[in-house]
Amino acid sequence: MNDMTPSKEERTEKLQGMGCKRKRVEDIRFVQGKGNYVDDLKLPGMLYGDFTRSPYGHARIKKIDATEAKAVPGVLAVLTAADLKPLSLHYMPTLAGDVQAVLAEEKVLYQNQEVAFIIAEDRYVAADAAELVEVEYEELPVLVDPFKAMAPGAPVLREDIKDKTDGAHGKRKHYNHIFAWEMGDKEATDTAFKKAEVTIKELISYQRVHPCPLETCQCVASFDKIKGELTVWGTFQAPHVIRTVASLISKIPEHKIHVIAPDIGGGFGNKVGAYPGYICAIVASIVTGRPVKWVEDRIENLSTTSFARDYHMTTEIAATKDGKVTGLRVHVLADHGAFDACADPSKWPAGFFNIVTGSYDFPVGPLRGRRRLHQQGAGRRRLSLLVPRHRGRLLHRARHGHPGAEARHGSGRAAHEEPHRPRAVSLPVGARLGIRFRRLPHRHEEGDGRGRLPASCARSRRRSRRPSSAARRATSWASA
């Protein structure tokens, strides 16, 4: 140390503590329009890519004719699955142990799926040429209801895996089934329900949502033929995953692939996985030896990138008459799209079950998740609201029509008891990528809920005695 080195006390004073005001360091360049986003990147000789997409949710591809598109001045090439298949580039691995089509080969499995990739000198030329690719389709029955995905005679979606009995997470029971995963003590839970004084069962659906970041997915791929190195700039939330996928697809060693994520206009999980646009831009750059930029528009982002939720959760709770919970059953049916390409590898199978109980102390509970394929047309912790939603109905039933505030705050965990610390679960997901993820447990802290809830109820009663807005308006008009 020297005289210029601040002392411990000075460093502590400068650091301040929780709740102090922190000066943001990135705002100045953003408010001055000096952010550095992917679409701001312009490289010498850069080409542009765009997709021809399917108007159907489920259809067989009979014929692709790109003659008119190739004749457009400025178009260098039109790629289809037939061009990628000889090089084994028509499928790419996913984080969940499945494979996903880069360009549709024999069938399209969701509306706006990528069918052909146009490479051109100008972005607008590429967009115009994409509309000139003629595709002949044979429309097939669609499947949009997850409850009918495994029904007898349901449409076969993934013909490439229809005969596989083993999936990445266990046995497959149906050609549209991905996996079923269970945890908990079933025998003890059955006993708890047999002894329960009060039980309740309800199906709650958490609708599909889309992250919808302000900046859509996009990338620039540039391959240096002399050095044999690939550089990819993109809106990546997980650059290392993109590098691994790019290496598996291109056979370029990972140490020769440089992935750069500049400023990103939002992600919310939407930009974790790899998309066909990334792979097609990389392939196009390798083939042409020039940088290739791909930028999706808003409709493409909403219709073809990763969605979230779409859970159908059947929940049963066992309890005593005073509202003390004694058992929990949860069955989750997840509607997961055409490919098992989950952007959050820890969400299934372990993540949901680590948080579904919230801060309630359930002694026993078997939990089961089932995932199915269908045609596809961020706030994971909101799922912990599942049990409180049911608790309201349970307490109402336990008190025979009275909400039972006493039972509500008397049935949680005592203040002196330890908060839940779910054990970490090691998941062999991403096996195709050579990646092993470890699920860190969430810690739910209840604290002294018994003391807080009565005070909240008292405040609520005071507010309920206040005149309503309509009454206040009526009074003011009368006095006027």
Report how far apart, in Å, the C-alpha atoms of 416 and of each of 84, 167, 355, 406 are: 62, 44, 21, 19
3-state DSSP of 290-357: CCEEEECCHHHHHHHCCCEEEEEEEEEEEECCCCCEEEEEEEEEEECCCCCCCCCCCHHHHHHHHHCC
Return the pLDDT at 137: 98
Return the pLDDT at 39: 96
Amino acid at 25: V
* Residues 35/263, Cβ–Cβ less than 8 Å: yes
* Residues 53/115, Cβ–Cβ less than 8 Å: yes
Report how far apart, in Å, the C-alpha atoms of 470 and of each of 349, 464, 476 are: 50, 14, 10
Report which of 177, 183, 176, 180 is spatially closest to residue 155, judged by C-alpha positions: 176
The rounded distance, in Å, linking the Cα atoms of 281 and 232 is: 9
The end-to-end CA distance of the chain, in Å, is 76
Q: What is the dihedral of CA 66, 70, 76, 81, to 10 degrees?
A: 10
Residue linked to tokens 């949860």: 330
Residue linked to tokens 């009979």: 62
Catalogue the long-range contacts made by 238-242 (C-beta closer than 8 Å, 24 or more residues apart): 238/271, 238/272, 238/273, 241/95, 241/272, 241/273, 241/274, 241/433, 241/435, 242/274, 242/278
Return the pLDDT at 134: 98
What lies within 8 Å, CB to CB, of 431 at 6+ separation is: 97, 168
The bridge status of strand 170-171 relative to strand 308-319 is unpaired
The rounded distance, in Å, linking the Cα atoms of 480 and 459 is: 32
The rounded distance, in Å, linking the Cα atoms of 300 and 275 is: 12
* Residues 334/371, Cβ–Cβ less than 8 Å: yes
Return the pLDDT at 465: 53
Return the pLDDT at 5: 84
Residue linked to tokens 């708890």: 192
* Residues 150/174, Cβ–Cβ less than 8 Å: yes
What is the DSSP secondary structure assignment for residue 445, as one 8-state letter?
-
The rounded distance, in Å, linking the Cα atoms of 244 and 241 is: 5
Predicted TM-score (pTM) of this structure: 0.78
What lies within 8 Å, CB to CB, of 410 at 6+ separation is: 322, 323, 324, 450
The rounded distance, in Å, linking the Cα atoms of 150 and 155 is: 9
Give the mean pLDDT per block of 10 residues along the chain (480 residues): 76 76 83 93 97 97 98 98 94 87 96 97 98 98 91 93 84 87 85 92 89 96 97 96 94 97 92 94 97 97 88 89 87 85 53 71 71 46 58 61 38 38 36 34 38 51 52 45
Q: Is 440 left (phi over 0), alpha (psi -120 to 50) or beta?
A: beta
